[in-house]
Structure 1
Amino acid sequence: MLLSPKYQFLFVHIAKTGGTSIRAALETLRWRDPWYYPMFLCSRLSHLSGHRLATKLPRHAKVIAAQELLPKEFFDGLFKFAFVRNPWDLQVSSFHHLRRERPQLLIGHDSFEQFLRYKLDPARPYQYHLDTSITLQTDYLIDLKGQIIVDFIGRYERLHDDFNAACARIGITPPALPHARKSRDRQQDYRGYYTDTTAELVAQHFARDIELLNYQFDPD
């Protein structure tokens, strides 16, 4: 999550949706924001206390966290936005990300099908890096009543165009959008990773995202 009091925006960072690139682009604005320095100090103090001060919005916090913590008038006045991604594609991205950066989590689950079945098994132990990307994306966008409370939902599938649209809403010239953490190990379209059975597993788990965000396995 990235908050800018000066530019009055709140970016809700959903894992594996291009958020690292968006943060990298928007963080250049921090140096122009007089609120950045006290926010940085509070963040460091929170870190030094083991986050017992609770003065930092976590990187992948849901919008409801900001709504509960910030003054109502301030929160309501923010331009709140997030990016989402096709759930089937997101799981392929997660598989390759973990295989590159945390291969120990895939021991015994080397193939994509083994990985997916293990990841979606409700009986397995909690593991942050697995569970972050199976949380429903819509959970990041809603209030306690289940209503979407962000003002703009961009799509990973049209990242640059939607990022430019978000910047226009903020009132800034779009900064360069780097392609952070670009994957070089995907050799095929995400649909090639799935069987009918595994595609249905994702369809069932992410049913609400698929319905509310209007995604399909085969958009063609």
Structure 2
Amino acid sequence: MALYDPASIKHRKKLLDFENNTNISLRNRYVYFAVDKVANSSIKNSLFDIEYAPVGKKTVTLYDKRSSPLLSPYQLPPDLLREVLNSGNYFRFAFVRNPYSRLLSCYLDRILTASSKPRRQLNAYLKGRGEPTEDVTFESFIRAICAQGSNTQNSHWRVQADDILFGDVEFDFIGKFERLWQDMAVVSSRIWGELRPEMANKDVNKSPRATNAGGKLREFYTPELAALVADRFAADFDAFEYERDILSY
């Protein structure tokens, strides 16, 4: 990304999501591009603990960026933001997930929770299409989100390649949800030169609601729904090397 170009970003995602999900450490010189429904809570918990360690502070919440020790792009002057996003002086990383399990996890966690913000946004979209908003099925959810452009999708189901601005941002490392703590160790060694204990706690799962979506794929996906996801989320399958054949999982 040559510059902080709002027009370019808006083509792929919402600007507010860019601000909320881009996490910058000036002290430790890294940028974490968070992707919702990809162990975001566990990763942030580890990073927050490390960032607060020098002053002995405790994390207040993982879910309000205003309480984060990590900065957002708008808080940096343009020249520093340019350095953060482009230069070799900062380690840029993200984590991604199998699109099939990520979308199912989103459905089980956010869509089946009628009061959640993603569900309310989905309801508004369905209403605009003249579709029912009560008792949204997994099929209705998949068909609706596959009809959306990335820049209008909610961050919990946005195409991950667009969500992290893949191809515009040059990444130093992209880890995977499926090998979370193994890849967290890689991130730790690249940033701190060692495995920080905060990045090695395999028993930590800070997700407010674990869904075990990876073990339920065949229960929810039909061949037609899997084909829809494979087509709409092709950028994720290709860029991050996930198998399209759902029977292989």
Instruction: Confirm or deny a common fold (TM above 0.5).
Output: yes
The answer to whether structure 1 residue 28 and structure 2 residue 54 are counterparts is no
Would you say the 8 A contact 2:31–2:90 is kept in 1?
yes
CA distance in structure 2 between the partners assigned to 1:32 and 1:75 by the alignment: 28
Residue 56 of structure 1 corresponds to which residue in structure 2? 72
2:234 maps to amino acid: A
Report matched runs for 1:62-81 at 5 Å.
Answer: 70-72=81-83, 75-76=86-87, 77-81=89-93
Instruction: Give the TM-score, by structure 1 length.
Output: 0.72
**Aligned residue pair count:** 190
Residue 193 of structure 1 corresponds to which residue in structure 2? 220
Residue 115 of structure 1: how far off its partner (Å): 1.7
Report matched runs for 1:81-96 at 5 Å.
Answer: 81-96=93-108
2:161 to 133, 138, 143: 138
CA distance in structure 2 between the partners assigned to 1:120 and 1:74 by the alignment: 30
Report matched runs for 1:29-178 at 5 Å.
Answer: 29-32=50-53, 56-57=72-73, 70-72=81-83, 75-76=86-87, 77-98=89-110, 99-100=112-113, 102=116, 105=122, 107-122=133-148, 131-142=154-165, 146=167, 149-171=170-192, 172=194, 173-175=196-198, 176=201, 178=204
2:93 maps to amino acid: F
CA distance in structure 1 between the partners assigned to 2:80 and 2:158 by the alignment: 21
Residue 189 of structure 1: how far off its partner (Å): 2.3
Residue 197 of structure 1: how far off its partner (Å): 0.5
Q: Which runs of 5+ in 1 are unaligned?
A: 37-42, 45-54, 59-64
Instruction: Give the TM-score, by structure 2 length.
Output: 0.64
What SS does structure 2 have at the residue aligned with 1:210?
helix
What SS does structure 1 have at the residue aligned with 2:72?
coil
What SS does structure 2 have at the residue aligned with 1:154?
strand
Residue 229 of structure 2 corresponds to which residue in structure 1? 202
2:206 to 149, 156, 180: 180
What SS does structure 2 have at the residue aligned with 1:131?
coil
Q: CA RMSD in A?
A: 3.3
Would you say the 8 A contact 1:2–1:23 is kept in 2?
no
- Which one is further off, 98-107 or 79-88? 98-107
The answer to whether structure 1 residue 11 and structure 2 residue 32 are counterparts is yes
Would you say the 8 A contact 1:164–1:174 is kept in 2?
no
Per-residue displacement from partner, 1:107-130 (whole Å, max 9, x unpaired)? Answer: 33522112211222339xx5xxx5
Residue 31 of structure 1: how far off its partner (Å): 2.2
1:4 maps to amino acid: S
Would you say the 8 A contact 1:141–1:150 is kept in 2?
no
Residue 170 of structure 1: how far off its partner (Å): 1.1
What SS does structure 2 have at the residue aligned with 1:164?
helix
